[in-house]
Chain A
Amino acid sequence: MAKDTNTSDFRYIGSRPARPDGLDKVTGRARYGADIAAANMLHAAVLRSPHAHARIVKIDTSKVEALKGVKAIVTRADFPTGLTGEDWDLQENTMAGERALYDGHAVAAIAATSPHIARDAVKLIEVEYEILPHVIDVDDAMADGAPVIREGAANKTVPEGMHPNVVKYIEFGHGDVEDGFAKADLVMERHYKTEATHQGYIEPHACMAQLGADGKGEMWVCTQGHWYIRRMCAAVLGLDTAQLRVTASEIGGGFGGKTTIFMEPLALALSRKSGGRPVKLVMSRSEVLRATGPTASASMDVKIGMTKDGMLTAGVANFRMQGGAFPGSPVDMALYCAFAPYQVPALQHIGYDVLANRPKCAAYRAPGSPMGAFAVESLIDEMATELGLDPMQVRMKNGSKSGDQSSYGPKFGVIGLEETLAATQAHPNLSFPLGPNQGRGIAAGYWFNHGGETSVSVALSEDGTVQVSVGTPDIGGSRASMALMAAETLGIPYENVRVNIAETGSLGVNEPTHGSRATFASGKAMHGALTQAINEMCRRAAGKWKIDPEAVEWKDGAAVPAGPNAGQFPPMTIQEIARKMKNTGGPISGHHESVPDGVGDSFGAHVVDVEVDPETGHTKILRYLVVQDAGRAIHPSYVEGQYQGGAVQGIGWALNEEYVYDDMGRLQNPIFLDYRVPVASDLPMIDTVIVEVPNPGHPFGVRGVGETGITPPLPAIANAVAAATGVRIRHLPITPTKLLAAIKAK
């Protein structure tokens, strides 16, 4: 779509109506993963390894088989063999094979007639383990002599001589970094670490599955992407993909963590083994924390050159990330994003994806970007302070602009970093006076956004109302944004559109609601589908008027003659066309599928004021500002909600949240009491500014807004703490204990 189709003269877009699923969600009627039951249903429970790394010598289920009410037991022996690559990784993560690879790794599963019996039965399974040496920390895992987690897991990018736990190596850059450092007035190199955090969605993973001996099955599951669930379950169990029909329940948060499978194949395998009875499997919170996707932990070295007037001359980033016992840490994304907000003449990026005895990491909101930003934005801030420069001005001077070459290669299209930084600079929060022990921190952040496989259908009902079927689950109000865009396109009331999240049997393959793509990609595909339906409605009107369909256009919910030469006819409304469609050619619908191009890059800037208690080391957030380019805010309230939610997850990452392991490699904080996410009393209101630099690649200018907001908080808070205390913390989280020790050591 051309940029000239962007116009701010909208009737519906930019308004804030009640979301279509609001009533269901405030009355308790909305049905989430665990809110379903079926006749003859069984309940499942999973036995998990208590060891970080252990050979499974023997699994004895004889005592279980004697327990009344147990209907099926599944171990790895019930899964097909011979899988390779990511399919093998998924299968191995679903159920341990020869070895348990992390504390919480599934070893066996049981289906029984009640949840109590299933949980009792799990305790009767006797597993003989041979405990093996384990490794948790990413740098330890790369060191000589570290226990080898899986021989031969490395791909061909890894240089010879590296530890077998290094499974992927990445290197890219441009320019002559040595020359760049020589031109700098100040060169600094620092080491940074971030700990693994969990997406922390409040709804634990849950599904109900049924699979017959004929290989035909159904599943109800809370997921961000039911086609992904279908493909992955089919691969892990050796099923024909189309024989599995997957329905996405309402979803209680995901943040990337519900884009893959964890226990879903177990429910299917148990169902098949129990003669096709439906099996419900709901994780406990500790299972969620021990065995589902946390993000990677990172160890990073960054070196930057800067002139005395604040121009960046060169940068080197060397990042190491562990993503659990399988390949897939987002070290590549972290490197792509790290310097993306800036134009640096010479850059070198080096990354290592490393295995450790931890759960398989999953995507978490802008995967990798927060870690990279923490390192680079912290160092830029430290250098600006050293040179006596305004950190905001340094960012504005070096900021990427439309058409610039990005730090990772491709040229940016139309981007809004300049406008975002200008709006940040103009915000009153930047001139709020600070008191003792208070400090202000700023940071920028970047996320690519994403298109992805998308298939959307629309259909006209007999009364002129319209149904939209999308494949991207509504995780934060996307039904509202879809309905607004449909209303705008058709010129009909918002309330006359019904948006359905279709099951896998209704549409072609859809990628999940991930990559900040739902409103961009499903919205763009829906626009294509609606355009097709509009063309057909115009054709029906032309038939009635006996004029050329080309002489009919669509305006304000009706077909009208296109100009005086087309003839004099009163507008034919969508209701009239709908009422008569049975006799004018039958159903009217539209369909569009694509991997949409025209993805709009996203930039944001955050400003935070903190106060540090010098006696306890506790950091209090006083004020928080998020400024981000949305391209176009379809429903501004839910755009603000994404900004606020992302910022607060970042605040948790910066101050509280981390995976804590004991020396046996066991997770020590697998409940919300100890894995402490931010609560209401930790926070102030989160101020937002929506910048709109429309994305020319979307009919309404949408970029996608979900992810960027989690990136700047990590460095912004570290920068604010440094400003408040004079102490620079380079290892997150900035816990009171850590900060107090650093203040005392000053």
Chain B
Amino acid sequence: MSKVHVSTTVNGEAVEFLADTRDSLLDSLRDSLGLTGTKEGCGTGDCGACSVRVDGTLVCSCLMLGVEAQGKEIETIEGMASGDTLHPLQQKFIEHAALQCGFCTPGILVASKALLEKNPDPTEEEVRYWLAGNLCRCTGYDKIIRAVMDAAEEMRGAA
């Protein structure tokens, strides 16, 4: 089966790749573009480890096709820090020990960033419900929630 040529923007950079029509966006990111920061935990949209943003919308990249990226703006964990400067969420995750194995971390960071852009001052309950689609099996979520709340507070202070 011949592949489809896809032109898209990932983390602000114009990129091109060839996609098998059955490749998920996650497959394309990981295998065609070498952006392995986005993880596959389930392939059925239940765990959120593959969370990315497409034109600003938070999606499970395992549920989109690679060919659907044509002409879109994709944002992944690799684009979250600005050079050496970490995003406040990344910084707070390290400070709060909000990761143990770290496998769910990229997806949770991408999802949390989307939350804070929508709602800069979320309650604990709002953070918990927003992240209910991102499974973490190590932490029990406690330190993740604290890190997101703390990052939100810091970002509000900086704004």
Query: Contact residues of A with B, CB < 8 Å?
Result: 16, 18-19, 21-32, 34-35, 37, 114-116, 199-204, 250-255, 282, 284-285, 475-477, 635, 637-638, 640-642, 644-649, 671-673, 677-681, 683, 685-686
Contact = CB atoms under 8 A, between A and B. Distances in A.
A27 B104 contact: no
B15 interface: no
Contacts of B37: 27-29
B135 interface: yes
Interface residues of B, number: 60
A28 B77 contact: yes
A285 B137 CA distance: 14
Contacts of B127: 680
Chain A CB within 10 Å, residue with most, of B86, B93, B96, B135: B135
B50 to A, nearest CB: 11
Contacts of B103: 32, 201-203, 250, 252-253
A678 B90 CA distance: 24
A644 B139 contact: yes
A253 B100 CA distance: 8
B137 A26 contact: no
B122 interface: no
Interface in B13-65: 20, 22, 27, 30-31, 35-44, 46-47, 49
Contacts of A253: 100-101, 103, 137-138
Contacts of A32: 39, 103
5 contacts: A640-B97, A641-B143, A647-B140, A671-B42, A673-B44
B78 interface: yes
B140 A285 contact: no
A600 to B, nearest CB: 22
Contact of A637 (B38, B106, B143): B143
A649 B42 CA distance: 18
B43 A284 contact: yes
Contacts of A203: 39, 41, 101, 103
Most central of B40, B86, B138 by chain A CB within 10 Å: B138
Contact of B38 (A28, A31, A678): A28
B109 interface: yes
Contact of A27 (B31, B78, B100): B78
Given A680-B141, A681-B128, A202 B93 contact: no
B137 A681 contact: no
9 nearest CB pairs, A to B = A28-B37, A252-B103, A25-B102, A648-B140, A637-B97, A644-B140, A672-B46, A28-B77, A476-B100
A203 B101 CA distance: 9
Contacts of A284: 43
A251 B140 contact: no
A603 to B, nearest CB: 20
A113 to B, nearest CB: 12
Interface string B119-134: 0000011011101111
Nearest to A480: B97
B100 A638 contact: yes
Interface in B70-117: 76-78, 80-81, 86, 90, 93-97, 99-106, 109
A31 B103 CA distance: 10
B94 A18 contact: yes
A680 B46 contact: no
B94 A27 contact: no
A642 B95 CA distance: 16
B105 A201 contact: no
